[in-house]
Structure 1
Amino acid sequence: MNVTIVGTGYVGLGTGVMLAYLGHQVIGLDTDPTKIESLKRGEIPIYEPGLDQLLAEAQANLHWTTDYAHAIPNADVIFICVGTPPQSDGRPNLSYLEGAARSIAQNLNGKTQVIVNKSTVPIGSGDWVSRIIEEHAVDYHANRYFVVSNPEFLREGTALGDSLYPDRIVLGGIAAGLVRMRQLYAPLIHQSFKAPDYVPRPKEYTVPAVVETTLTSAEMIKYAANAFLALKISYANEIAGLCERVGANIDEVTAGIGFDQRIGHRFLAAGAGWGGSCFGKDTSALITTGGDYGYEMPILSAAIEVNQRQRSTVIDKLQKHLRLLKGKRVAVLGMAFKPNTDDLRDAPAHDFIARLNLLGATVVAHDPVAMERARKEWAHLRYQEAATAQDAINGADAVIIATEWTEYRRLNWNSKVRSMRNALVIDARNVISEPLDVPAVIEQIGKELPERTAADAVA
């Protein structure tokens, strides 16, 4: 099919490249000419493992433009993948969505076309986009343009695997639109495509579930899923706080409860809390929607409160040992909100650095991939860049591990703490798994490292 993707951010770029790999002719449209020129040169503006390889393989089916008049008229399916950033009141900013819908409407050519809300949008947005299409299409006819909700469930860092081997494909709308979406996704639904070597099909994977619903239910599914995962993480962190006080180990606790199939192990990792563009925004939006209808959602409100408290807990642990932070050198390892991405949105490290700035500490930060992006997006913060984790640690009074990069897990921490002025590590992601051989204070979330015994030392 001919497919147009409006918006080439994390969701739009991943969706477009995946559909091109599956054999569709894809036009990626963005109003940022610099981004489009980069994509034409084969340069990817985001970091996502394997995406550059998939882009290279799908290049023949991909085209890039800033021109709606070129991208819209001949498209069979048009995906809206623009940003919906949160506003101060928790409501998403829908100006980009509205602008995209209006520009799409003005360039429809009269044939049957499906317009897909892929962006995470408030409940009711499908009907709203339908009205925009109706009001601004040049020659509008009923039953010619179908709006479908097809929310994404991608995790940054594993987006290719999530795209090619999804748990489920959710399609919301009327039957005529859903038929075309099934045709579009047929290679995914039947898993009939050749799996890339660098993103192999999981051994136990069969085919995704296809969930067909109304527009409203599809929109609710997206918000409810993200809010539930946010709640699960906040629950683990709340239990971790109690574990610290009674002497339990959060890793042992979550392992024990996770074997219950009703609970599962995923999204129970205690640490600095969740970040990124989805959990906080979507949970807040769901609470706001409830407020619009006079319906309070105290459980979700508590999830946000616990998550924010978790960030304060990390600084509290630092102050417990250093007391005054003014003039102290603190290394922050990890800037992206999670490993295997350069996405800085709502990253815990941002809040750590901002608080350390207020407290007068000197901050030295390192991240394997996100530092270049941070130069642009975190220009309001004061910190020094370190070329390596070792450079950040050297001479530090304390280290905060803010992102669980594999690189940090593999560090020889016995060696690293020897280079510090004061051997204090606030391991906010519980990446240090063994007690150290050298004197050091290691603060973790919800547990304490076991003490090394004499027998361990001899071994």
Structure 2
Amino acid sequence: MNIAIIGTGYVGLVTGVCLADRGNHVICVDVDEQKVFAMKGGKIPIYEPGLEEIFKENIQDKRLFFTTSLEEAFKESHLIFLALPTPSGQDGSADLSHVLDVAQAIGKSLKEYKVIVNKSTVPVGTSEKVRDSISQQSRGAPFDVVSNPEFLREGFAVEDFQKPSRIIIGSGSECAVELMRKLYKPYTDRGIPLLVMKERSAELTKYAANAFLATKITFINEMANFCDLTGADIDSVRLGMGYDGRIGHRFLFPGIGYGGSCFPKDVKALISSGKELGYDFQILQTVEAVNKKQKVLLADKLLKYFKGSLKDKKIALWGLSFKANTDDIREASSLDIIEKLLLSGAKISAFDPVAMNNVKKHIGKRIHYTEDMYEALSGAHALLILTEWSEFSQPDFKRILDKIDQKVIFDGRNLLDPKEMKDLGFYYEGIGRKINR
């Protein structure tokens, strides 16, 4: 099929590359001329495991193309995917300006039947707004609008697209649904369920899923904090909980709060949508408030250890991205922790396998960056582990001891073994499990 992808951010690029890899002819549109030029030359703009290889393969095999021209993309496309940013406004609501501006541009160019597929995460009722925006400009040309939410995890996006848990199609049009069934037939033939529902239900399903996962993460973080007070061990607690089939083990790993481009934004948007309709999402407001505190928990623990002052203290940070296997730092706990440490007088030396350039763009040279995880420890009074990169879970402790000034580790991802830390003479605190010298 001929497909246009409008927007080459995280969702748009992964969607375009993976659909091209299934044999479709895909043309991706972005307003950033430099970005489009780079992608045409085979340079991928994001870090995502497994994506670069199929990105280059499909460019070479002439199934994947890039342009800044909307009209060029519309001309031959059966399906037009909107994968545009919907950032949070000051009141937490989703900003739909990018989506609706492109919808108007589609209307002006529309001459024959097209299906406009909303891949962006949008509030309930957005499909109707897109339909109205197109209709105002289209002069009666036929089209349908479909809601097709994405469920991609950063770090596993290619796998999630190629082996989705479910495919959701929100549409009341038989013609549009059949086109979408045809597009996703390679997946449904393998037994992956395709659920057809109304547009509003599809839109809310994405928000509901992300809000529930954010709540689950926040709950286990609350339990971990309570474990610190009671002497219970969160690892034992979460295992005992997870074997209950109604709960499950996934998203029951305590840490320093959720971040990224989805959970924070979607929780805010759902709260805002509720307020517009006079509904008070009390659970989600609490989730948001608890997560805000959790993001700086490690800084609070560190300040307590050093009696409230970090003046002249060098603190090493391992991990800057909001999670492993991505260079995404949006809403990353590391940024909140860095600000609090700097305000407390600390000097910071940091390492991350892929996210350091993004942090440099965000905060500049206010901290020191190292190209080696052990070099960050040189002369440090404490190490904070902020991201669950695999190389941090089995470090060379001899090299740590050779570099670090004080044997102090605060583990925000519970990667290290508390007993081993105690045996090595470290002061060690994780999240919900505390074993000291």
TMscore range, shorter length: over 0.9
Q: Which amino acid aligns with 1:5?
A: I
Determine helix, strand or coil for the equivalent of 1:114. strand
Does the Cα contact within 8 Å between 1:399 and 1:425 map onto a contact in 2? yes
Q: TM-score, normalised by structure 2?
A: 0.96
1:293-327 CA-to-partner distances (Å, cap 9, x unmatched) read 11111111111111111123211110111121122
2:327 maps to which of 333, 337, 342: 342
Q: Is 2:180 the partner of 1:181?
A: yes
Q: Which amino acid aligns with 2:34?
A: T
1:368-409 CA-to-partner distances (Å, cap 9, x unmatched) read 011122222333x72111111111111111111110000111
Q: Which amino acid aligns with 1:347?
A: A
Q: Is 2:112 the partner of 1:111?
A: yes
Does the Cα contact within 8 Å between 1:114 and 1:145 map onto a contact in 2? yes
Q: What's the counterpart of residue 454 of structure 1?
A: none
2:79 maps to which of 67, 77, 80: 77
1:272-421 alignment runs, 5 A limit: 272-323=256-307, 324-379=309-364, 382-421=366-405
* Inter-partner Cα distance in structure 2 for 1:156 and 1:441: 33
Aligned-pair distance for 1:450? 8.6
Q: TM-score, normalised by structure 1?
A: 0.91
Q: Which amino acid aligns with 1:114?
A: V
Q: Which amino acid aligns with 1:115?
A: I
Of 149-158 and 430-439, more deviation after overlay is shown by 430-439
Q: What's the counterpart of residue 3 of structure 1?
A: 3
1:119-139 CA-to-partner distances (Å, cap 9, x unmatched) read 1111111100000000122x3
Does the Cα contact within 8 Å between 1:414 and 1:438 map onto a contact in 2? no
Q: Which runs of 5+ in 1 are unaligned?
A: 192-206, 452-459
Aligned-pair distance for 1:448? 2.4
Aligned-pair distance for 1:87? 1.9
* Residues paired across the two proteins, number: 431
C-alpha root-mean-square deviation of aligned residues, in Å?
1.4
1:147 maps to which of 142, 145, 148: 145
* Inter-partner Cα distance in structure 1 for 2:242 and 2:166: 22
Of 305-314 and 270-279, more deviation after overlay is shown by 305-314
* Inter-partner Cα distance in structure 2 for 1:230 and 1:414: 37
* Inter-partner Cα distance in structure 1 for 2:272 and 2:165: 28
Q: What's the counterpart of residue 39 of structure 1?
A: 39
Determine helix, strand or coil for the equivalent of 2:195. strand
1:68-89 CA-to-partner distances (Å, cap 9, x unmatched) read 1111122100000011111221
Q: What's the counterpart of residue 426 of structure 2?
A: 440
Does the Cα contact within 8 Å between 2:33 and 2:68 map onto a contact in 1? yes
Does the Cα contact within 8 Å between 2:296 and 2:333 map onto a contact in 1? no
1:199-221 CA-to-partner distances (Å, cap 9, x unmatched) read xxxxxxxx211111101000000
Q: Which amino acid aligns with 1:124?
A: G
Aligned-pair distance for 1:176? 2.1
2:214 maps to which of 214, 230, 239: 230
1:219-275 CA-to-partner distances (Å, cap 9, x unmatched) read 000000000000000000001111111111111111111011110000010010110
Does the Cα contact within 8 Å between 2:429 and 2:436 map onto a contact in 1? no
Determine helix, strand or coil for the equivalent of 2:175. helix
Of 406-415 and 396-405, more deviation after overlay is shown by 406-415
Q: Which amino acid aligns with 2:95?
A: N
Percent identity of the aligned residues? 42
Does the Cα contact within 8 Å between 1:334 and 1:403 map onto a contact in 2? yes
Q: Which amino acid aligns with 1:368?
A: P
Does the Cα contact within 8 Å between 1:290 and 1:297 map onto a contact in 2? yes
* Inter-partner Cα distance in structure 2 for 1:396 and 1:403: 18
Q: Which amino acid aligns with 2:99?
A: L
Q: What's the counterpart of residue 19 of structure 2?
A: 19
Of 312-321 and 236-245, more deviation after overlay is shown by 312-321
* Inter-partner Cα distance in structure 2 for 1:402 and 1:298: 29
Determine helix, strand or coil for the equivalent of 1:435. helix
Q: Is 2:273 the partner of 1:271?
A: no
Q: What's the counterpart of residue 170 of structure 1?
A: 168
* Inter-partner Cα distance in structure 1 for 2:415 and 2:107: 50
Does the Cα contact within 8 Å between 1:237 and 1:270 map onto a contact in 2? yes
Determine helix, strand or coil for the equivalent of 1:305. helix
Aligned-pair distance for 1:415? 3.8
Aligned-pair distance for 1:56? 2.5
Does the Cα contact within 8 Å between 2:218 and 2:290 map onto a contact in 1? yes
Determine helix, strand or coil for the equivalent of 2:103. helix
* Inter-partner Cα distance in structure 1 for 2:76 and 2:366: 49
Q: Which runs of 5+ in 2 are unaligned?
A: none
* Inter-partner Cα distance in structure 2 for 1:136 and 1:356: 52
